[in-house]
Amino acid sequence: MPFNDYRTALVTGANTGMGAAVTEILTKRGLTVYGVARNKERLDEVAATTGMIPLAVDITDIDALSAAVEGLEIDVLINNAGVSATGNILDASADSVDAMVDVNLRAVLHLCRLLMPGMVERDLGHIVNISSIAGLYNFYGHTAYHATKAAVHQISRQLRNDTIGKRIRVTEICPGRVETEIFGRNLGGSPEAMKEAWETYYEGFESITTKDIADTIEFAIDAPRHVNLGLIEIMPTFQVPGGLDFVRRNDRDPR
């Protein structure tokens, strides 16, 4: 099976949520996993329970990221780290836009730039990019988040072109609502915010869990060597991807 083909993996955002869940599964499957996150304390906690090798680095610092992965032969790259924000482009701050571009998009491109040449040289590798249904469907949310996740979707397709003829697989995991800390962080990250986010977005809903995402990634990696699962959209059964909104106004232009 393909897991026997691989020796190493690198997971971004490995300190919590989907990243921690994926790290746990990959280490159990026998891979040496390098976990990347800027929160060293939480990263070390995951390392203590999984055996992952922690790399405490801010992925938006490209010089530091380059130094952290220099010399590593990574067979499986999981681009999981991501940030979001409430609102839309009309009330977005410059910092929030830059953060989403830097984490969701720029870091993904640079990690591929840094680690894919080794995969090409060894004629072996698997890249898994976590995007979002926000990158495929239009609905209310932060425009910059939608834009960066749409870019991840296109990157995932383009990487297959970049490595044509090589035994390198690229999988985009496109989730709907997953039970993570993202909504709580959007509300400020305090214990009260986390509680409010849970009650608002998860309580009473049958959401996707982080284990569901990790199991899906395991399934994609475990596919036969000649099979590339390019795009996997995974949503709660009770969540639908779209809708049609029409706003009625009474100040119709008489012209």
- Specify the DSSP class assigned to residue 94: H
Judge contact between 192 and 146, C-beta under 8 A.
no
Tell me the residue type at 116.
M
d(CA 152, CA 187): 25
Would you call 201 a catalytic residue per the annotation?
no
- Indicate the length of the chain as a whole number: 255
d(CA 65, CA 70): 9
The secondary structure element, H or E, covering residue 33 is strand 32-37
Which H, E and C letters describe 60-83, residue by residue? CCHHHHHHHHCCCCCCEEEECCCC
Q: Which of 6, 34, 140, 145 is catalytic?
A: 145
Q: Which of 47, 141, 66 is nearest to 107 (CA)?
A: 66
Phi, psi of 110 (to 5 degrees): -70, -40
CB 248: neighbour CB atoms within 10 A?
A: 5
d(CA 88, CA 93): 10
> Which amino acids are annotated catalytic?
145
